[in-house]
Amino acid sequence: MPENVNWSAVWQSITDTWLPLFGGVALIVILLIVIHIIKKHKKDK
- Could you tell me if residue 5 is inside a domain? no
For residue 34, what are the domain limits?
Answer: 18-45
3-state secondary structure the chain: CCCCCCHHHHHHHHHHHHHHHHHHHHHHHHHHHHHHHHHHHHHHC
Residue 16 has pLDDT above 90, yes or no: yes
- Could you tell me if residue 31 is inside a domain? yes
pTM: 0.57
- Does 7 or 29 have the greater pLDDT score? 29
pLDDT of residue 2: 63
Residue 45 has pLDDT above 90, yes or no: no
pLDDT in tens, 24-34: 999 999 999 99
- Could you tell me if residue 11 is inside a domain? no
pLDDT of residue 3: 75
User: Structural domain tally of the chain?
Assistant: 1
- Could you tell me if residue 22 is inside a domain? yes
